[in-house]
Chains A and B, each alone.
Chain A
Amino acid sequence: MILVTVGAQMPFDRLIRAVDAWAAEHPQTPVLAQIGTGAWQPQHMQWTEFIAPDEFRRQAADAQALVAHAGMGTIITALQFGRPLLVMPRRGDLRETRNDHQVATARRFDQMGKVAVAFDEHELPNRLDTLLCSSPADRIDAHASPDLINALRGFILDNQKPITATDSPAQE
């Protein structure tokens, strides 16, 4: 099963239409889409407006792959479950979100090779086909980087502020 999500805040019909068109051509692949308050209703896949967080995690853990907007909640959840993930960023000029920060996020994660990116609906079908042929990603740890955890812990417990390279440019 492929799990599609637009997140909890806003609809993203451009993504839902693109995946629905893909689903029409792949009737053997079940697709479940969380479409939010989108006005447009999918024809070729199962859909629901919202999925509760724990239900979403259950579905994500079972999914063959995830397709989503470039929201951090979805990206991190997919990485935690080691599921292959394709994101399509929302665009500010189309009023899909308030600015183009998702485009910047997607570009950066694309470079890091952690997620697959379709920058628009035309790129989506090929990217999704490729994603389904790729091997599952490694799961990431459940927690943040040890450096960040330790810095926060030092501050919380001992009131120590971290010293970073930019504080003292003389030191390497």
Chain B
Amino acid sequence: MNSSKQRRRRVLAISSGGGHWVQLLRLGPAWQGCDVTYVTVNRAYRSDVPDTPFRAINDATRWDRLKLLLMCARILSIVLRVRPDVVVSTGAAPGYFAIRFGRWCGARTVWIDSIANVEEMSMTGRLVRSYADLWLTQWPHLATADGPQYVGAVL
């Protein structure tokens, strides 16, 4: 509780574009007062988070191996430089890599599955499960005793 006496937490907030990014932005108050670095796939999103460290990486889907590899390398270099205490992601591929690399570096990790996934956790969400310390759905009917947990939604 004595957070004022602690070093400011370093948070890496990362997502792909479109809806994942819009949802990540709505979580902003959760890391207010922390040193946050935003990472996403579109340079134009810079204007959404003025005066905040921001890194753009290339986009990729799991069908394009070369781009995926490049994305993977960029994220690793960002994680090594930022050394986050906590990695938070709303999806998809960039969040998966950041959570896995973050874990290697001792970060605690949070996956918030997109509110678009109303019938089941996303495929990336299922893949990331064992690497996410907090594994959240935004739909109460998808929560189970073994996870994912439901604690609220972006809407």
Residues on A facing B (Cβ under 8 Å): 7-9, 52-54, 71-77, 79, 101-102, 104-105, 107-108, 114, 140, 142-149, 151-153, 155-159, 161-162, 164, 166-167, 169
Binds A, one of B15-23, B70-78, B97-105: B15-23
The CA of A167 and the CA of B133, in the complex, are separated in Å by 15
Residues of A within 8 A of B31 (CB): 152-153, 156
The CA of A146 and the CA of B154, in the complex, are separated in Å by 9
Q: Is the CB of B22 within 8 A of A155?
A: no
Interface of A is mostly: helix
Residues of A within 8 A of B144 (CB): 166
Nearest B residue to A164, CB-CB: B149
Q: What number of residue pairs across chains A and B have CB atoms under 8 A from each other?
A: 136
B54-77 residues with Cβ-Cβ distance < 8 A to A are none
Residues on B facing A (Cβ under 8 Å): 1, 3, 9, 11, 17-23, 26-31, 34, 42, 44-45, 47-48, 85-86, 88, 108, 110, 112, 114-119, 133-134, 136, 138, 143-145, 149-155
Residues of A within 8 A of B134 (CB): 151-152, 155, 161-162
The CA of A166 and the CA of B143, in the complex, are separated in Å by 7
Nearest B residue to A76, CB-CB: B22
Nearest A residue to B18, CB-CB: A73
